[in-house]
Structures are given as C-alpha cells and as structure tokens.
Structure 1
C-alpha cells in the first residue's frame, strides 16, 4: 500500500523554570495515499486538449481570413477584424456554458454559435479556394474550426451535470426569484434618484414661493389698524437686547408691541420686566 508523508502540528504543554506554556509540536507521519483519480486526470486532459484546439483554430482562422482581407485594407486592420470570426462562436460557447442550467436561454447561444461557426468556416474556405484555386484546401482549412468547436463541445459534456425535469423546474423558479430581486436593485436606485429630484424641485419651488410672498400687499389694511405699522425684518438669530434695539430703531415704542416682537424673533418666553429694562436702557 502506498503512503505519503504529511506534517501534523498540535499544541503541547512545555515547562521551563516552572512556567508552562502551550507550544506547537510538529511531527511528520505517514498516511495511506489515496488511489489516483484517473477520471479526473482524463477530464483535465480533455479540457486542456479542447483549449489547445480552440487556440489553434483561432490562430489559423485569424491568419487565413486576415490574409484574405489584407487584399482590400491594411494588414493590421485586416488581421484585427479576422479575430472576430472565431472569437464570436467561442464567446457563444462560453455563454452556453454559463447558461448550462437554463436550457431555454442556452439554446439561443447554441444557435448563434452555429451560425457564427458557419460564417467563419465559409470565410476560411473562400481564402483556401482563392489562394490555391482548389476546393480541397479550402475545405480542409475550414474543418479546423469545426474540429475545435466539436472538441470544446465534448469537453463541456464531460463537465456537464444534467438535471432531471423536476429539479430543473425547481432551479428555474429559484433563479427567477433571485433574478427578480437583482433586477429590483437598479430599479429602486432609479426610483430613489427620481424621488430625490422631485423633492429637490418641490423645495426649490417652495422657497421661491416664500420669497415672493415675503412682502404681501398691504393695500387692503385699514390705516387705523394696529397692524398697519411696518414690522422690522428679522435678519437672523437675535438676543433679547438686540431685538429690543431693532424694534425701537424701527419706530415701535409701545412696550406691549416691543414685547410681542421680542417673543417673535428672539425668545418666545421673554419676560416683560426684562424687555422693559432693555427699553429703559436704550432710551
């Protein structure tokens, strides 16, 4: 039986000069080695082989179609555009793999990949036929992309985990619920931004309305009315003393009206004797 060595650590008490501390003790032990997983090795080999095929196909297709397109444009642009032919069906296969548990959506990617492969093979065939003037070379060159796609399809089947119909339905419903929650995230953000804009607009309109009505029309008031006298404008937070001085400077002399003004702009609980004292000091 094959064995392998592993290092094991554990805490053990160690005493020096009567002081005990827990320290790490390391030891190397031999344990039975698990049997080699040949299935996993073959699975990895298939995946690596498929990746090599796809790389070879991408290189070959880019070289062939780039050479074909270079007849009508500069080489750099031609070879850059040629990458799109094989890259398109490779991308479709990647999408198909990501959607492997959603057969309906994966079917769209599968069909698109087949059409992209057909276009790529047709371009490679045209290049071989025009260069060598024989369809055999064109067909052989076009078969490279088909082999690469076939190899990657086999690798995907090796890694696939098929689901039974009931489990597939369960997965679809759970995914739909989660996708709905994910979709609501940007929607909520959009609604919050919209509500913030509406609120800001309403505050702006309210501020304009308040500033427009700060000096209402006084033509309807009687000259004998006690409110006919203009009130001083509050310029900001005031003390009782400042409010009294402002009222006196504005022509308000009656102690009751001065007290009412002080309570309006300075302190709602201002005492009458305090206001009277400030009036005497100001006089």
Structure 2
C-alpha cells in the first residue's frame, strides 16, 4: 500500500523559569494514499476534449459565417454577429447542464440548443455554397454538429437520473426555496407601497391654516384649546395634571379649566403654584 507523510501537531507542556505553557509539537504521520481514480481522469479528459472541440467549432463557425456576412456589412459587425450562432447553442448546453437534475427544466434549453445548432450549420453551408465550395461548407458545418453531439454525450454522462420519488422531493424543496426567494422582492415592494400610502395620507391630513391665530381671534375664542374632559378630577392638582396631559401649557387656559371642573372661584396664584410644582416633578 502506498503511503505519504504528513505533519501533525499536538499540545505538550513546556516549562521555562517555572512557568508552563502548552505549545504545539510537530510529528510526522504516515497515511495511506488511495489508488488513482482512472474513471475520474478519463471523465475529466473527455470533458476537456469536448471544451477544446467547442472552441474550435466557435472559431470555424465565426470565421465562415463572418465571411458570409462581410459581404453586406462591415467586418467587425459581421464577425460579432457570426459569433452569436455558436454561442447560443453553447449557452443552451450550459443551461441544460444546470438543470441536469430536473428533466422538465432541461427540455427547453435542449430543444433551443438543437435549433440554434441547425441555424449555425445552415449558415456555414450557405457560405460554402456562395463561395462555390459546397463540399467544404458541408464539412465545415459538420464541425459544429460534432461538437454539439459530443457535448450532448458528456452531459448525459454527467447527469445522474433521479428516481420519481426523489425527483418529487427535490421539486418540492426547490419550490419552497423559490417561494422564499420570490417573497424578498415582494416584501420590499409592499413595504415601499405602504410607505407611499402613509405619506399620501399624512399629506392629505395636513392643510394650511385658513385663519391664523391673532390676538383678536384668541380674545374672541378663549376656549380654543385642545379638547378636555367635561367632568374632571375633584382636586386642583388632578385638574392641572389632566390639563398638562392633554397638551395645555398656557397658564390662563389651565386656570379656566380648573375653574370649570373644580372651583369656579379658584385663585390664579394657587393654580400657578400647582402648575409650577407639577412641571418641576415631571
């Protein structure tokens, strides 16, 4: 059995001048080396070969279709558009790979990939026909077909099929997490909408004063104070405390309220003294 050496550490006490500290002591350990995974090496090599063939297909198709489109448009635009043909079916294969555990989701990118491949091969063949080299055009189109075919086989080898019960479990979990992700922007949208509604309602409740307060108006309406309970406390202190809790801070208004609910002959000095006392203790 093959082995390899690794370095591990363990804590040991180390004392200097009577003070002990736990320190790391390294030691070498022999561990077995697993046998080489040839299956994984072959799988990796085939995947790398498929990637190289895909790059060659992109180069050939782009050069061929770009030369065809160069007849009617400028060269940069022609080759930029030519690169789209192979990139589309390669992107569809990437989406098919991401959905390898969900056959229903993988079906659409698979069909779209074959359609895009057919269009790319047709464009390459048309270029050969226009140039009077139909055979070369057909052979060139086959390059893209071979690349797509190899990638289809590689994807099928990597995709592990799930049994029906496991597939349903995976679909349920994906739906649950997908619902949670969908609720994130929905909650954000609802919060923003509620904020707009609250701002609109606040704006509608707030209106400018049509008749600003003046000394004359205050004299004409001496009772223009926040609404207070009609029958209040029986003591002056409680009456003053009630007025303060209702937002009445003007001394004259407090005196009027005390005289209304406690004693019609209440002295202003007594009310003022009670008011000062409550303000100090507040």
What TM-score does the superposition give when structure 2 sets the normalisation length?
Answer: 0.76
In structure 1, the residue corresponding to 2:206 is in which secondary structure? Answer: helix
In structure 1, the residue corresponding to 2:160 is in which secondary structure? Answer: coil
1: distance between equivalents of 2:163 and 2:50? 27
Determine if contact 1:90/1:113 at 8 Å carries over to the other structure.
Answer: yes
Q: Mapping of 1:118-133 within 5 angstroms?
A: 118-131=118-131, 133=132
Equivalent position of 1:229 in the other structure: 220
Q: Mapping of 1:163-242 within 5 angstroms?
A: 163-208=162-207, 211=208, 229-231=220-222
1: distance between equivalents of 2:270 and 2:150? 97
Equivalent position of 1:251 in the other structure: none
2:50 is the alignment partner of 1:50:
yes
What is the root-mean-square deviation of aligned Cα atoms in Å? 2.9
In structure 2, the residue corresponding to 1:34 is in which secondary structure? Answer: coil
Equivalent position of 2:65 in the other structure: 65
2: distance between equivalents of 1:124 and 1:86? 11
Q: Cα distance, 1:21 vs. partner?
A: 1.2
Determine if contact 1:243/1:261 at 8 Å carries over to the other structure.
Answer: no
Determine if contact 1:125/1:135 at 8 Å carries over to the other structure.
Answer: yes
Q: Cα distance, 1:243 vs. partner?
A: 4.3
Equivalent position of 2:89 in the other structure: 89
In structure 2, the residue corresponding to 1:203 is in which secondary structure? Answer: helix
Judged with a 3 Å threshold, the aligned counterparts in structure 2 of structure 1 residues 243 and 36 are, in CA distance, closer, same or farther, namely same
Equivalent position of 1:222 in the other structure: none
What TM-score does the superposition give when structure 1 sets the normalisation length?
Answer: 0.76
Q: Cα distance, 1:260 vs. partner?
A: 3.5
2:269 is the alignment partner of 1:273:
yes
**Structure 1: 5+ residue stretches without partners:** 217-226, 235-241, 245-254, 263-270, 278-283
Deviations, residues 228-263 of structure 1 (Å, cap 9, x unaligned): 7145999xxxxxxx946xxxxxxxxxx6x573489x
Determine if contact 1:4/1:31 at 8 Å carries over to the other structure.
Answer: yes
Provide the aligned length of Structure 1 versus Structure 2.
Answer: 240
In structure 2, the residue corresponding to 1:31 is in which secondary structure? Answer: strand
